[in-house]
Amino acid sequence: MGGSTRSPRVLQGDNASGQSPYERLSRRMLDISGDRGVLKDVIREGAGELVTPDASVLVKYSGYLEHMDKPFDSNCYRKTPRLMKLGEDITLWGMELGLLSMRRGELARFLFKPTYAYGTLGCPPLIPPNTTVLFEIELLDFLDSAESDKFCALSAEQQDQFPLQKVLKVAATEREFGNYLFRQNRFYDAKVRYKRALLLLHRRSAPPEEQHLVEAAKLLVLLNLSFTYLRLERPTTALRYGEQALLIDQKNAKALFRCGQACLFMTEYEKARDFLVRAQKEQPFNHDINNELKKLASYYRDYTDKEKEMCHRMFTPNDNGSTVGEN
């Protein structure tokens, strides 16, 4: 599918058998519901684990009625699909069963009988009663938040009973959700997820031989928080999280860059230059860092020019021979 909304070519052809296109297609499809109510045909294989119950999925889909070229429903026109949670945002029973049979990157075609789609009533005026529908679905990604939500609801004492790997996994899930929300420009929601991850990592003590795992996880979250607060136009907080990241890795170019951006936002030009030059030392050919240094130089020139102009006006004699500011 990948954004296409044309009618699937597989349905085209002669009708000499007397069967409808969907009937012909169904003969070579896999029964995944056990009663042939949901049939599946894999177009492109996916990889990794199957979608888990209660997961939130990122999908592209188009729904078709028989003998119609254009979809009656599609989200392929959206630049960024919305994250949808199984059991809440997915309204078709057939689609939920279909998604549970898919892996990341998979593209598949499904036939949903009325029981698994729009039922005996249909959905007027688009969907007639007792209609079988075809959906092409591409699973871009999925995130399983059920485990994370349950874990975060536990007390600190209860969480301490779990091994460190469990905490790291939950923190990574929270960060992944934050990343998705950030890409959706939902910066406030993203920082809530990042903070949940950071709290879990701060509360957890680890033996010395495993502490580096916790620090590495913290570093990723702190960098994300710094960037998020820059987008929220709160540079003071962005700087604070960037400096916390530097306590873990003092040569981290991304942390130095974020701190430099925050200082530039606050017009603290000397501090901004210090951070950005240190970042450039770590990554001399990083275009973002070099462009930020150019921006800093431009801003600083404008600032000094205005300072010179102000001083000139203050000490230039008026017509009566006095200078501005003189009593």
Q: Are residues 112 and 235 in the same domain?
A: no
Q: In this predicted structure, what is the pLDDT of residue 3?
A: 44
Q: Are residues 201 and 166 in the same domain?
A: yes
Residue 274 lies in a domain: yes
Q: How confident is the model at residue 252 (pLDDT cuts 50, 70, 90)?
A: very high
Q: In this predicted structure, what is the pLDDT of residue 11?
A: 53
Q: Are residues 41 and 126 in the same domain?
A: yes
Average pLDDT over the chain, rounded to whole? Answer: 87
Give CA–CA dist 314/308, Å, rounded: 10
Looking at 144, 177, 199, which one is the last position of a domain?
A: 144
Q: How confident is the model at residue 293 (pLDDT cuts 50, 70, 90)?
A: very high
Q: Are residues 109 and 224 in the same domain?
A: no
- Residue 209 pLDDT more than 70? yes
Q: In this predicted structure, what is the pLDDT of residue 8?
A: 60
Q: In this predicted structure, what is the pLDDT of residue 302?
A: 63
Percent of the chain with pLDDT over 90: 61
Give CA–CA dist 43/231, Å, rounded: 40
What's the CATH number where 75 sits? 3.10.50.40
- Residue 125 pLDDT more than 90? no
Q: Are residues 202 and 76 in the same domain?
A: no
DSSP codes of every residue in 11-49: G-S--TTS--HHHHHHTTSEESSSSSSEEEEEEE--EEE
Residue 12 lies in a domain: no
Looking at 105, 126, 144, which one is the last position of a domain?
A: 144
Q: Are residues 74 and 209 in the same domain?
A: no
Residue 9 lies in a domain: no
Among 232, 234, 231, 260, CA closest to 245: 260
- Residue 16 pLDDT more than 90? no
Ramachandran sector of residue 12 (left: φ over 0; alpha: ψ -120 to 50; beta: rest)? beta
Query: CA of 166: how far to CAs of 71, 101, 147, 186, 282, in Å?
Result: 43, 26, 10, 27, 33
Q: In this predicted structure, what is the pLDDT of residue 2?
A: 44
Residue 155 lies in a domain: yes
Q: Are residues 123 and 222 in the same domain?
A: no
Query: CA of 292: how far to CAs of 45, 236, 272, 301, in Å?
Result: 43, 18, 10, 14
Q: Are residues 86 and 194 in the same domain?
A: no
Average pLDDT over residues 316-320: 58
More confident position, 302 or 288: 288
- Residue 299 pLDDT more than 90? no
Residue 13 lies in a domain: no
Q: Which domain holds residue 60?
A: 21-144
Q: In this predicted structure, what is the pLDDT of residue 308?
A: 58
Q: In this predicted structure, what is the pLDDT of residue 314?
A: 61
Residue 15 lies in a domain: no
Q: In this predicted structure, what is the pLDDT of residue 323?
A: 47
More confident position, 95 or 10: 95
- Residue 324 pLDDT more than 50? no
Q: In this predicted structure, what is the pLDDT of residue 319?
A: 56
More confident position, 81 or 295: 295
Against a cut of 0.75, is the pTM above it?
Answer: no
What's the CATH number where 271 sits? 1.25.40.10
Q: How far is CA 284 from the centre of its chain?
A: 29
Residue 327 lies in a domain: no
Question: 3-state DSSP call for residue 207?
Answer: coil
Report the number of distinct structural domains present in the chain.
2
Q: Are strands 73-74 and 55-65 parallel, antiparallel or unpaired?
A: antiparallel
Looking at 102, 124, 144, which one is the last position of a domain?
A: 144
Q: Are residues 89 and 173 in the same domain?
A: no
Q: Are residues 153 and 292 in the same domain?
A: yes
Q: How confident is the model at residue 18 (pLDDT cuts 50, 70, 90)?
A: confident
Please write the tens of the pLDDT for every residue from 255-265: 999 999 999 99
Cross-strand bridge partners of residue 136? 62, 109
Q: In this predicted structure, what is the pLDDT of residue 310?
A: 63
Cross-strand bridge partners of residue 74? 62
Q: Are residues 112 and 165 in the same domain?
A: no
**Of 120-124, 141-145, 272-276, highest mean pLDDT:** 272-276
Residue 291 lies in a domain: yes
Q: Are residues 36 and 91 in the same domain?
A: yes
